[in-house]
Every structure is written in C-alpha cells, then in structure tokens.
Amino acid sequence: MQRHADTHTTAPTANGLPRRTLTTLYGNTQKLDGGAMFGNAPRSLWQRWFDADSQNRIHLGCRALLVRESGRNILVEAGIGAFFSPEMKARYGVEEAEHVLLQRLADLGLSDADIDVVILTHLHFDHAGGLLAAWEDGAAPRLLFPNATFITSRRQWMRARNPHSRDRASFIPELLDLLEESQRLELIDAGQQTPTLGADWRFHFSDGHTPGQLLPEIPMPAGPVVFGGDLIPGAPWVHLPITMGYDRCAEGLIDEKTILLNDLLARNGRLVFPHDPAIGMGRIIRDDKGRFGLSDSARDVLALAE
Ligand SMILES: [Zn+2]
C-alpha cells in the first residue's frame, strides 16, 4: 500500500488502508415518469417497487456520498439541488425550494467551501445540478464549492459539450461554462487514476447510460464501495435485465452491469445508489438461481468507518 504525503495525519487501518469514513447525504428529491425509469419493464413489474402518482411519476432521491479521509472531504455527486426555476421544479417534481444537500453538509458542521474534491459520475442535471446555488429570481447561475477540484471523465465532458439531440436537455450549458472558468476542472481518461485522489482510489467506466460515466471505487476494510451512478441507480436495477428508458444503449449497459456485479461479488463489494429512496447502500450477493441481490442494505450511513 502506497501512502501519500497527506495521509500521515492519521494512522492507517490494520490492513493498511487510510482511515476514512463514508456518509451518504440524501439531498433534493425528484419525480420522474415510472415507465421511463424502467425502460422495457412493464408497469405490472415496476409497481412492485414504486408507487406511481396520478401523472405516473415515481418519487426518487438524489443521494451523494461524502468520503472523509486524511483531513479532507471528498464528495461524490451533488444531486439535482435547487437550481431549477419554480416552473422547472414543478416539471421534475422537485418539491424543496432550498438546497437540501447543503443542509445535510451543515448538519455535519460543513459548508460547500469545506469540500476539497467533487467527483461527478456524469453531468446530467440530477447528478450535477447541486453544484449550483439555489434559484433566485433574476440571479445568474452561481457555482458553489469554491475550493473544490471537480473530477469527471473527458469522454463525459465531450458529450456534455456536444450532446446528442436525445440527451441535450439533460445537460446544463451554464454549469459547464462555470466549471471551465473555475480552472478547477480535472478530466480523466478510461484506465487513468489521479494524484488528486491517490493511488488506492480507482474508477469503473461505463458507456451504457451516457458516454464515459465515471464510477469511483473507494477501498474500505470490509470490502470496496462503488458509487453506482446511473449504471445501477437503485436496488431494483441490480436485477440484470432492468434498465432505464434514459439509457443510451441498454444491452451494452447490461453487459457492463454484469461485469461490475461479478467483480463486486468476488470481492465482497458494496454499491451506493443515488436515486433509491429506501436503500442507499447494499452488499452484492447472488442467489442459487444466479440472480444478483443485496444484503446488509441500509437507507443511509453516517460516518461508516469499519
Ligand atoms: Zn443520468
């Protein structure tokens, strides 16, 4: 295990990993069409997992993951936040006026200025919109996290800058400009690690939902933890054939999901789910029929250290 200069402030764990804690932060929520969230799965199947409202929408969370290690704070994703105008909030079922993620950080005694790194799995508005301050009438969009390095993949950045007509509405051009102007944007390529995070962090790359989705893996004493992003956004999507209508390539996504779940199963790994209102983290298991499932699941974790 290679130690970095900034890990010397705390003694490593017995198996040599830097001491770190994981906290899931349940931020602003949204409502999206249930059919669109479950691709080719019929309502008779998905209504086992979600109740739909009168507009066929289901209630979804936006969950971020805070990793505290070696005196620094790393945030995986920022959720949808509260940057939308009231009209757009109504369209996407964002019910809270305030930026809930900032409140969850404040509960821990932190502000956005205390975050050293933000990792963005991808730049869709329900994963990156929380980088912006809450909407104010007449005010221009404002980038939060003034001291953070923002990490995403180069492939995802290129997509966001040159979107396809099918996913153009999922990106926020004003946010991309602000990220670029901040000069704190770090783009990484598939197979790369980054000295910003250190050698024991690694990434899984996925193209099935959007090109170059970046799924960070955090090594923990009781097995690795991977942020599932929109490759596996919640517990129902652990089931291999379940995809989203928003996915760019459903078959490719299922192949990527199979590889990741087999990898996590072999290493006693866990997933964090951004959108599942009931389950925030779970350990991957497989039953005697070969179906993947979860054990040790929890809605949220607070300063999980192991
Ligand atoms: Zn997405």
Question: What string of DSSP letters covers 187-240?
Answer: EE-TT---TTT-TT-EEEEE-SSSTTEEEEEE--TTS-EEE-TTTS-SGGGGST
Domain boundaries, the chain: 5-298
pLDDT for residue 10:
56
User: Does the global pTM surpass 0.75?
Assistant: yes
Question: Which residues, listed in sequence order, are joined to residue 186 by a DSSP beta bridge?
Answer: 151
Measured CA to CA, the distance from residue 133 to residue 139 in angstroms comes to: 10
Between the CA of 284 and the centroid of ligand 1 the distance, in Å, is 22
Between the CA of 191 and the centroid of ligand 1 the distance, in Å, is 21
Q: DSSP alpha helices (H): ranges in the chain?
A: 34-37, 43-46, 86-91, 100-107, 125-128, 154-161, 173-182, 250-266
Between the CA of 170 and the centroid of ligand 1 the distance, in Å, is 8
pLDDT in tens, 215-260: 999 999 999 999 999 999 999 999 999 999 999 999 999 999 999 9
CATH 3.60.15.10 fits 5-298, yes or no: yes
Between the CA of 127 and the centroid of ligand 1 the distance, in Å, is 7
Between the CA of 233 and the centroid of ligand 1 the distance, in Å, is 9
Between the CA of 122 and the centroid of ligand 1 the distance, in Å, is 7
Contacts of 264 (CB under 8 A, 6+ apart): 224, 226, 270, 271, 284
Which residues have CB less than 5 Å away from ligand 1 (the ion)?
A: 124, 230
Between the CA of 153 and the centroid of ligand 1 the distance, in Å, is 14
pLDDT for residue 14:
66
Other residues' Cβ atoms within 10 Å of the Cβ of residue 138: 4
Between the CA of 39 and the centroid of ligand 1 the distance, in Å, is 14
pLDDT in tens, 57-76: 999 999 999 999 989 999 99
Between the CA of 209 and the centroid of ligand 1 the distance, in Å, is 7
Between the CA of 20 and the centroid of ligand 1 the distance, in Å, is 27
Decide: helix, strand or coil at residue 156. helix
- Taking 70 as the pLDDT cut, the residues of the chain under it are 1-12, 14
